[in-house]
Each structure stands twice: as structure tokens, then as C-alpha cells.
Chains A and B, each alone.
Chain A
Amino acid sequence: MPRILLLFAHPALERSRVHRKLIERIPRRDGITFQDLYERYPDFNVNVRKEQELLLLSDLVLLQHPFYWYSTPALLKQWQDLVLEHGWAYGTAGTALRGKRMANVLSTGGGAEAYRRDGFNRHTIREFLAPIEQTASLCGMEFLPPYLIQGTHRMTEADIEEAARAYSKMLEALLDDRVDLQAWRSAPSLDAIRPKTEPAGARS
């Protein structure tokens, strides 16, 4: 069973419609650690030792956040700057994170059609995530396609409720090892694949 570290970054959760519902549905069970970064470090004073410990105890790191200016909220960037130290996360001696996996869970106001080469934003989500992808890769982690919740500006309460339920199911599936890794690697996004009903087997 993969251990999940869910790093959550939202500077104004009290005003969020989507993420508040999403995190309500996060399974409360062994194997998943929920770290609310803006709640933990309101003054951007990230506790480096503590965060490194949490990373060491996990197999899959999920970065859940709204998509701000095609990137993460500022604190998640601060987290990267401070926690992924040279000699620990990367560099010749930096092997702590090797073999772990990383993916984003992100929401965008615009719909999926806006994130195409010919769309409004002229780049795909995956292209926008290049810095994080390369960060993961430099640290020896496998970067996997993101879990996307898109078009949130037009979502109704019922839509949000539905998205939260789906997200919850996916997390359960990840924890139960019911997500086929090959399928995830080749899918455009994690939300597009359908988890199996039985555990994926020894090879994940």
C-alpha cells in the first residue's frame, strides 16, 4: 500500500468553493498524511526538518492547490525552495527522495479547452507544470500526470459535490493500490482513468 503525503496549499481556503469541499472528502485513514501548508506556516517559516521527515515517510507526494498564474501558490514554491535541499534531495549525495512519485492535484477556473495549444492559454497543463516535473526528476522522483478539476468558475454546488466525491474515490483507490500505474503514466490526467475494483497486483 503506497503511503501518500498530501501537501495542500491554499492561501484563502475560507473563500474557496472547490478545495474546501475537496479536502472535506479526503479519506481519514492510515497511509495518508494531510499537510495544510498555509495553516501550518502562515508566516512562510517552513519547518525544513519536519517537512523532510514527512517526505521520507511517503511513497507518493501529491501537491494539491489552485492553479495561480499557471503555477503553485507562493508558499508551495517556498516549500520547494527550502525543503528540497542540495545534498539531501538532489546532488551527488542527495538521494533521499529517489524512487518516490509526485503528482499535482489542481483546479483551474478555465475549462479543459482553454489549456490547449490552440486554446485561450496557448499551453497544456502538462507544459505549464514543466518546472515541477523537472524538479521531481532532478530529485529522482517519477512525475506523473496531474489530477485535474477544471472549469470551476462555471461549476454549480452539485458539480463541486460530484467532483469532491470523485476525488475521494480516487484517493481511496490510490491507497488501496487499485490504480494501474501504466494507465496513469499514459493517461492525459489521473482523473481520466478508472480505478480497478481489485488491487493492482505486485507490480505497481
Chain B
Amino acid sequence: MSGGLLFQAFVYLLAAVVTVPLAKKLGLGSVLGYLLAGVVIGPFGLRLLGGEGQDVMHFAEFGVVMMLFVIGLELEPNLLWRLRAPILGLGGLQVLSTTLVLAGIGVAAGLPWQAALTAGMTLSLSSTAIVLQTLQEKGLLKTAGGQSSFSVLLFQDIAVIPMLAIVPLLSTAKTSAAGVAHDASGLSAGLPGWAKTLMVLAAVSVIVLGGRYLGRPLFRALARTRLREIFTAAVLLLVIGIALLMTQVGLSPALGTFLAGVVLANSEYRHELESDIEPFKGLLLGLFFISVGASVDFALIGARPGLILGLVGGVVAVKFAVLLILARAFGLSQDQALLFAFGLPQVGEFAFVLFSFATQQGVLAREITSPLVAVVALSMAITPLLLLLNERLVQPRLGTREGPRREHDRVEGESPVLIAGFGSFGATVGRLLRANGVETTVLDHDSDRVDLLRRMGLTVYYGDATRHDLLHTAGAERARLLVIALDSPEKTLALVHLARKHFPQLVILARAFDWADAHDLIEAGVDHVYRESLDTSLRLGTDAMRLLGFRAYESRRAAQKFLEHDEESLRELTAQRRDVGYLSAVRRRIEDLERMLRADRDQPGLSRDAGWDAESLREEFGRKR
């Protein structure tokens, strides 16, 4: 069936393009969509893919490497430093205790301890790709539970390296415990331990120092060529080069690129790097998820359903329990602990690598690994479902309640204003309104914040504001205004469409992030669009003018007129913009900027008030004398 590379690419892309939007529409998230696409085109679905699934997965694992590069870019070193306690403490304890519990069960089930330990280690890892992608999509990465998940995943990615070193030692069943602790270089190609360590140190310093001192001038030189594809090529070269280097010295490529990302996070090319690598990352991750879906061995599951499903249930239950206990021990609130525990109980993509490695090394027999590989794939596939379960069934019962506490003296749901999202933006709006005696109803999905707001006496509904039922119970039919102050443009747009359709009487006031979002919102029919940094930047501009010696009121008038002009050109350009068609986000921002600058230039009256200008008066009356 698989006729060449192009046909394969066609099948993969078609499957993704059909299933992913469908899954998103159904509220299942893109990861589940990709997995389903994989199942559909896989050997047990339409059989469009054959045995090459494993190879594709191997190739697509590179998406994880790229994802860690992007995560590194978004992570400044000081944030990483702040997270050191959860990374080492929470992450270390999670890997250690899960490994021990699972290995114990393995030994009890009659496996030799080496095999049990290897399996336990491998199964203790979680899937960075699935969890981060899902949390990001749900906008939960910044919550306490999201940050803890991230920390644990980071630790696990690092922990893969010693695991790869330990596995070969376990194959020589005689190795003493002291030997394990001592010699962590079992992988090295005939090099003595110290040389191996030196190589690792050298590779890491190459990345750190190179990134710090060479990266910037290199990217600057490349940017100056104005050849976009060369810049993109350079970024890919960088990522692939680091991955190769890391593999050579026996480190995880993901860790290496993550490090490079962190080093480059402070450079001025951060956003270009990110937007260049983003599509590759997305596609490869999608490919990875598809191949996971395709690799689920339904024949094996069908042959021994009890064993496989029992193993999936057992592994997930053990991991869940450990995660929940640790989360509570590390002081997460109940909701966040549940999010954390429901997010991470699957087995991660590194398991495929570790299992095949362990089989090669003769630590685990193929009869053990092949059901375990099915278990891993299944556990990954149910992750989005588990998170949905948590969101829809568990949280509403156990966690922060969705609706506010009933108070006798207040009629619920009667406030005229709904505020979706109570981050700093929404909070300022809410505080202003409350300070003037306006009742507001808040919709927010950060449970810690929700608890606080409720203690302060606000009416708060907890959950995803783009859910129709939540809007309904929050009183969207009776409210007059809907203030959208969500953190993501996609969510904002989704909420706009939902509100337009089901609650047409609501007047929508929406926060936009930049020109592009503002355009989208205007096209979606929102009349009141507020670009979040516009007023602030104009205030800064006003102050800059004053510091340069302009009079205070002149500066203020200039800003007022500029704001007006800017709003006007935004609306004018919304129409023109549709003709441009699809452009990459960065390209689009540049084009928008160009149009704005042109519009400024064609607007002569921006810098003076004719009414206060005596120029023409002097001309007329001065000449008469």
C-alpha cells in the first residue's frame, strides 16, 4: 500500500488534517486527534501504514527534541533556578518511588530483579510531548500544577541519561551495587570513565559557551543576509548539530537542545528562533503522536486483553497514587494536585527507546517488552481522556467547586458583567468595576486564584470559560457585558464565537494582544477590542516626548490623536488584510507594521492642533500691517 515517500506524507498529512480539527472541535485536544489519526491509518485501521511505523516514530522523536529547544527558549535561566526545588525534589522522588514500587511489583510477579528494575525505571517516565502539548493547549502550564508537571518532566528527561547507562550494567547479573553507582559510563565506546566524563563536560561547555558567545554574532550575521530560509536552515542546523553531539557523547539530545534553548533565551533572536522552529516542531510532534497511535498493537491487545488492560490500569494507578501523594506532600492544593496526578500517569516516549535498548542488551526479553510497548502506547493514548475525566467529572465534585457558594442575601447570577479570565488584565477591570459598586461574575480556570477570589467574596465560576454550560450557569443569558481577558488569542476567539452564537445579547469587550488578534476579533464581529499594550505604550511614548522637552499637554494631545488614528487605520486595514491571504505570523506582524508606518506617514495632522496654532493667523494678520 505504501507507495513511496510522497504517498506516505500524503496519508499522514491527510489523517492529521481530517482528525485533528475534528478532535479539537469535540473538545478532545489535538494530541488525542493525532493519536486517533494514527489508529485510523495504522495496521489495524485502514492499513495505509505498514511496518514502517516504528521508523517513523524514531524519526518523529526529533519533534520532542525540538519541543525541548522551544521550551528552553521560553525559559529564562532564573526561572529554571527558581524551579530547582520541584525539579530535583519532586522529580527525583517521583522517579525513585515509582521505580521502586513498580520494580517491587515486578519482582513479586516473578521477574528477575534486574528486569523488574529496568521495567520500573522505564515505566516511571512520563510523556513530555503529550503532557506539555495538552497543558499548553488548555492554558494550564502557568498554574501551580502545570509548573510542577513541567519540573517533573524536565527531571525525567535528564534521568534518561543515567538510565541508559545503568541498563547495560544490569545485563551482567553479577555487577555489585557499588559498581552501578560508580561506573556511569557503560555506554562509552571503549573509553575509560574519566575520558567519558571529560567528553560530556566538554560537550556541555561547547553548548553553553558557544550559545553565549558565538550564537549572537552568528545569528546577527545570518539575519543581515535577509535570506529567511538561511536563518531557518541555521536554526535547524543548530538543533540537529547539538542532537548529534549529544548522541556522540551519550547524552540525551533533548537535554542538549533544551540547554541550548535556555542559553539562547536571553538573546534578541529568541522570537525568530522560536517562530522558525515552531512549524517543524509541530509537524514532527504530530507525526510522533500519529506513529504512537499507529503502533498500538491491537492484535496483541486482542489476544491478551486482560493482561494488557490490567497492566495499563495497574501502571497508571501506581503512578497516579505516587504523583498524588507527592503533590500533596509538596504543598499543592487539591485541585492542582489532581491536575498534576491526572496529567502525568502515562508512560513516556523514552520508554520505546529504553525498551528496545534493554532488549538489545538482553536485560528484558522480547516477550516482556512487546506487551509493555502496547501498554505504553495505550497509556499515552488515554492521557487526554484522563485529563478530560479530571476536568469534567472529578474536579467538579472533589475540587474547587464550579459555581460559587450560595449566600442567602445575594441573588446569584444577577451581575451585569461577566469577566472571563482574572489574570492581571481581568483583575484590573474587575477591581475598577467593583470599586464603583458594579457586581461582576468571574470565570477563571486557576483553582488557587478562584479559591482566593471566593474568600474575598467574589462570585466566581471555576473552569474553562469557552464551555457553553459554564457560561450558562454563570448567568450569561442575563448579563449585559462579557469582558474577555483570557491569556490566549485562540481561547478568546473561541469564546467570542460561542457567545455570539448562544448569547447574542451580550456586548463583548475583548482583550487583544496585537494587531493580528485585533483584526481577527473585529472580523469576528467584536466592536470593543482592546490591544493590551496599546495604552501603556502610548503613555510611555508620551513620557518619552516630555523627557525630550515637549510640553506635557502637547505630548498628551499627540498620544490622543495617535490613538484615534491607530484605531482608525486598524479598522481600515482589516478589510485590506483579507486579500493578503495566509502568511506566517511573523511575516504578518512585519507587514502590519509596514502598513502602520505608511499610514502614519500619510497623516499630516498628527502633530498639531490647528485651533491652537497661530501660524496661519500670523500669516493673515501679520501681512496686513
Tell me the A residues contacting B by CB distance below 8 Å.
43, 45, 47-48, 81-87, 91-92
- Number of B residues near A (Cβ < 8 Å) is 11
**B52 is an interface residue with CB less than 8 A from chain A:** no
Most interface-central of B557, B564, B611 (chain A CB within 10 A): B611
Tell me the chain B residues, 609-625 only, with Cβ under 8 Å from chain A: 609-612, 616-617, 620
Q: In the complex where A48-B610, A48-B611, A81-B611 touch, is A87 in contact with B560 (Cβ < 8 A)? A: no
The answer to whether A86 and B560 touch (CB under 8 A), given A91-B616, A91-B617, A91-B620, is no
Residues of chain A within 8 A (CB-CB) of B557 are: 45
Residue ID in chain B nearest A44 by CB atoms: B560
**A86, B609: Cβ atoms closer than 8 Å:** no
Q: With A91-B616, A91-B620 in contact, do A83 and B560 touch (Cβ < 8 Å)? A: no
- Our pick among A43, A85, A92 for the contact of B611 (Cβ within 8 Å) is A85
Cβ-defined partner of A85 (8 Å) among B561, B610, B620: B610
Give 1 or 0 for each of B583-625: 1 = CB within 8 Å of chain A CB: 0000000000000000000000000011110001100100000
Q: Roughly how many angstroms separate A81 CA and B614 CA in the complex, as a whole number?
A: 12
Residues in B with CB closer than 8 Å to A81 are 611-612
| Across-interface contacts of A48 in B (CB, < 8 A) | 610-611
Mostly, the A contact residues are loop
**Residue interface bits B551-568, CB-to-A below 8 A is 1, else 0:** 000000100110010000
In the complex, chain A residues whose CB is within 8 Å of the CB of B620 = 86-87, 91-92
Q: Say whether, besides A43-B560, A45-B560, A45-B564, A87 and B611 are in contact (CB < 8 Å).
A: no
Chain A minimum-CB-distance residue to B617: A86
Residues of B within 8 A of A86 (CB): 610, 616-617, 620
- A84 CA to B557 CA in the complex, in Å? 18
Pull 27 A–B residue pairs with CB atoms less than 8 Å apart, ordered by A: A43-B560, A45-B557, A45-B560, A45-B561, A45-B564, A47-B564, A48-B610, A48-B611, A81-B611, A81-B612, A82-B611, A82-B612, A83-B611, A84-B611, A85-B610, A85-B611, A86-B610, A86-B616, A86-B617, A86-B620, A87-B610, A87-B616, A87-B620, A91-B616, A91-B617, A91-B620, A92-B620
CA A84 – CA B617 in complex, angstroms? 13
The reply to whether A82 and B564 form a contact with Cβ atoms under 8 Å apart is no
Provide the residues of chain A in CB contact with B617, threshold 8 Å. Answer: 86, 91
Nearest 9 A/B pairs, CB to CB: A82-B611, A45-B560, A85-B610, A81-B611, A86-B616, A86-B617, A85-B611, A91-B620, A87-B616
- A80 vs B611: C-alpha distance when bound (angstroms): 8
Q: How far is the CA of A81 from the CA of B553 in the complex (A)?
A: 14
Q: A85-B610, A86-B610, A91-B620 are in contact. List 15 more A-B contacts (CB 8 A).
A: A43-B560, A45-B561, A45-B564, A47-B564, A48-B611, A81-B611, A81-B612, A82-B609, A82-B611, A83-B611, A85-B611, A86-B617, A87-B620, A91-B616, A91-B617
- Distance from A94 Cβ to chain B, minimum over Cβ atoms (Å): 9
- Chain B residues within 8 Å of A47, by CB: 564
Assembled-state Cα–Cα distance A91/B613 (Å): 14
* A199, B561: Cα distance in complex, Å: 45
How far, in Å, is B593 (CB) from chain A's closest CB?
25
Which A-chain residue is minimally distant from B559 (CB atoms)? Answer: A45
